[in-house]
Amino acid sequence: PATGVIHTREMILGRNAKRIGDIYASIPDMAKAAAAYEEARAYYQKTLDSSSDKEVLAIVKAELAQIPKGSAK
C-alpha cells in the first residue's frame, strides 16, 4: 500500500482473508465466508496485540469494523 504506513504481514493476511470471505459471501457460501472472516479477525487481532503504531492501529480497527459479524457454523 502506498500510504506511507508499514503494513504488517498479519494486516495483509487479514485483508486477504476478508476478501476471500467477501467472495464466498457473494456465491453465497456463508459457512466458508464466516470461516474466512474469522481468520481475518484473528490476523487483525494479532496486529492489535503486537503493534503500538497509532496509524497502524487506526487502519486495523477501521478494517476490522468492516468484517461482517457471524459464526462459522
* Per-residue pLDDT tens digits for 20-56: 999 999 999 999 999 999 999 999 999 999 888 888 8
Angle at 54 between CA 33 and CA 41, to 5 degrees: 15
Which pTM value belongs to this model?
0.82
Q: Which tens digit of pLDDT belongs to each residue from 5-25?
A: 677 889 899 999 999 999 999
Q: What sign does the dihedral 61-64-66-69 (CA atoms) show?
A: negative
State the average pLDDT over residues 49-67.
90
Give me the pLDDT at residue 9, please.
87
DSSP state of 73: -
Residue 28 dihedral angles phi and psi, to the nearest 5°: -95, 135
Positions of E strands within 1-73: none
